[in-house]
Structure 1
Amino acid sequence: MRNRKVCSVVALACLMAGLASLPASADSKLKSSDELYNSYTSATKGKRIAWVPQALGLPLTDGWTKEMKGEASDLGMELIVRDPNWSTAAMTQAVTALIAEKPDVLVVHNPNVQLLARQLKQAQDAGIYVVQLNMVSNQKTDAFVGGDWKNLARGMAEDIVKTCGKDSGKSGKVAIIQGELTSDVSILEMEGAKEVFSQHPEIKIVSDQAAMWDPNKAREITAAVLQQNPDLCAILGHWGPMTMGAGQAVKAAGLSDKVSTYSTGENPQMICDAVKDGILTKYWSVDNEKQGRDAMLTIKYLLQMKQPPGTFKLAAYSPFEVITRDNAGDGLCWR
């Protein structure tokens, strides 16, 4: 990162030196700062963004909403929010109704890869830019902003192999707790983890169940798995707040020093607290507030490019941090 910043400074200095040597006639052809700013604001001011998460009231979706709402307000844009509160029927109805209202941009948080596929194509056909946030549909649209879930799962699986695999002296038994089986996150994380585990026959998946993003369900699943497998070595969960339920079951069974609990997702303070308290062992974190800003940046690019919806298929994959007990107090989570 430091090298990138140095190169940027050098490039800027070279550019400025080159501009200083331009004749007045060439310089006059360049857009002034005011013209550039006016072009930017004319492309964004007054535009309407429709946002449909799976549900509000979560650190994940509330963090995105806060960032998008704040920046939209600063730019004179309107953010229209619909909360289906986990209901797929309500989500489908909300998206269908919004298409009829013709916002400039539609942002969705897909619960699975198929549910909104038809509506997302309809939105683009109606002249609406579509940005998919964190979980992508089978219907690819103008942009995706979210985690690189497959590679994050590879990282978790590789760590599990080190902890539970050959010469570890442990059972090699692993339980997987998925979110929704047909969600993009669960599909990609399963692919990434199994690519690693398939190379290590000593790793045995003794349970693979979906908790539907519910921490209470994750706790119930884990309690039952521990009864059947008291020598369980690790749990790999597909979303931090859900997996905290699994970690609580491990703690209640008095096995926190024997069972490692891994997960991934957003980075509110409760995640760092869970790692410090031993509810989660390691956590592959993406900054969802920054994702909200990335979503808005993507929206601004689409509006300024002024190309028909469907022209581009952009992607912005979020960087990640691994949170452990050693660094959980280092400001890696937001309050």
Structure 2
Amino acid sequence: MSNKIMAVLAAATATALLTVAGCTVDRGAVPADGQGGGKKQTFGRNVQLFDAHRKVHESMKGKRIAFVPILYKGYNLTQNWGSTMERAFGNLGADFEVYDANFDTDKMVKIINDLISRRAVDVLILHNPDVGVLTQQIDAAERAGIYTIVVNMVSGRLGDAFIGVDAVHAAEDVTRRAVRDCAERGGPQRMAVIDGPGNDAASVQWSKGVHNVLDPAGYEVVTTAHTQWQNAVAQQAASSITQQRRNGICGYLVAYDLNAIAVGDAVADAVRRRVIRPDSIGVYTMAADARWCDALRKGRVTASAAYDVQGVGEAAVVTAQQLVQAGAPAGTSHTVAYVSHTVVDRDNADTTTIACYQGR
């Protein structure tokens, strides 16, 4: 992990400030027909209840919202966000559309460039596959007066807002759980990390949180495998590491819950083949969709820092409304906001509202 990437992330987070508009402006003003920034504010200091309802709907009616995730179809995480956005923006009378990049960064860039060049949207909601890959697109959107909201994969270039899990803190919390489990079973002070591409925000922040806990505790990260978020690659990496290390590691710290299921399958296979002892290697991760919870009930994974996935989609909708209602030019403010997370396992996953989420 380069110092340059971490410096960008730290600077972006340190300078972030969540702002809510509340200035007095012309009575009854609403944003004009949608090019994003530079319009009048929707609300002044005082408002009547029914008038507020009318103004909110008038401000959002016909606004064009595009959600561009790294993958959509069949992917519970982004489909959860997208379905939440679709319901909420639909209720407000906005036009909402999902553009599925299908794990193709070049395709994602082309989609975004086209939307910006045609000024076809008022708000872009982006799921950045890399810390820096969408920098030019976010800059171009700002110049075109288009608001940008980045979800879950923070960019070095913030845009108007970032909303997502506090990946560093979540990694710290679940890594503490892994250390505690290892101590209780007398395992070796060695872990393996399995993340995504390695240069994306989730992987970088996950690694930071893991090392924040393991290094002071005297634990060693014996290897870090990059999977590009592909389950087959995660399973192959875990099979190879387990075969080589056998009972010489105590746990896998996996940055993505579906990859963690594949890692858990590899560990279970190693137990079946008597390569390792039963319950000698734990599998820990971040997020907890319904499929991960099924694997948890089967004993294939151990614990996760579950976070409020649906809250990310809801917050993106709220932020879009605030940007439109405030009417300030795109790029006027830059904010970072985190949703909640908590560690879940077999004892509490089924009773924790943010765990075991569905795609819709």
- Report the TM range for the smaller structure's normalisation: 0.7 to 0.9
Report what 1:264 is aligned to: 286
Instruction: Tell me the equivalent position of 2:48.
Output: 32
Tell me the equivalent position of 1:275.
296
Query: Would the aligned equivalents of 1:176 and 1:237 in 2 still touch at CA under 8 Å?
Result: yes
* Match for residue 314 of structure 1 among 327, 332, 335: 335
Cα displacement string for residues 136-189 of structure 1 (whole angstroms, at most 9, x for unaligned residues):
111111001100000011112222222235x85211121100111111011111
Q: Measure the CA separation in 2 of the matches of 1:54 and 1:169.
A: 40
Residue in 2 aligned with 1:116?
A: 134
- For 1:97 and 1:325, locate their aligned partners in 2 and report how far apart those are by CA, in whole Å: 46
Kindly state the Cα deviation for residue 30 of structure 1 after the two structures are TM-superposed: 4.5
- The one of 210, 214, 220 equivalent to 1:204 is 220
- Over the aligned positions, Cα root-mean-square deviation in angstroms equals 1.5
Q: Which amino acid aligns with 1:193?
A: V
TM-score (norm 1): 0.87
State the distance in 2 between where 1:145 and 1:256 align: 39
Cα contact 1:276–1:328 (8 A) shared by 2: no
Shift of 1:277: 1.2
Gaps of 5+ in 2: 1-44, 272-276
- The match for 1:229 among 242, 245, 251 is 245
CA contact (8 A) 2:295 2:301 kept: yes
How far has the Cα of 1:314 moved from its partner?
Answer: 2.0
Higher relative contact order (CA 8 A, sep 6+): 2
Q: Any gaps of 5 or more consecutive residues in structure 1?
A: 1-28
CA apart distance, 1:320 = 1.0
Deviation at 1:193, TM superposition (A): 1.1
Q: 1:210 offset after TM fit, Å?
A: 0.4
CA distance in 1, matches of 2:235, 2:328: 48
Letter in 2 for 1:241: L
Q: Contact 2:190 / 2:222 at 8 angstroms: preserved in 1?
A: yes
TM-score between the two structures when normalised by the length of structure 2: 0.81
Corresponding residue number in structure 2 for 1:334: 357
Percent identical pairs in the alignment equals 29
For the residue of structure 1 that corresponds to 2:217, the secondary structure is: coil
Aligned to 2:233: 217
Secondary structure at 1:50 match in 2 = strand
Q: Show structure 1 runs of 4+ deviating over 6 A.
A: none
Instruction: Give the Å deviation of 1:321.
Output: 2.5
- Offset at 1:272? 1.4
Alignment partners' CA distance in 2, 1:241 and 1:326: 20
Structure with higher Rg: it is 1
Letter in 1 for 2:162: F
For residues 53 and 297 of structure 1, what CA distance do their matches in structure 2 show? 18
Which amino acid in the other structure matches residue 264 of structure 1?
M
Retained in 1: the 8 A contact 2:243–2:270? no
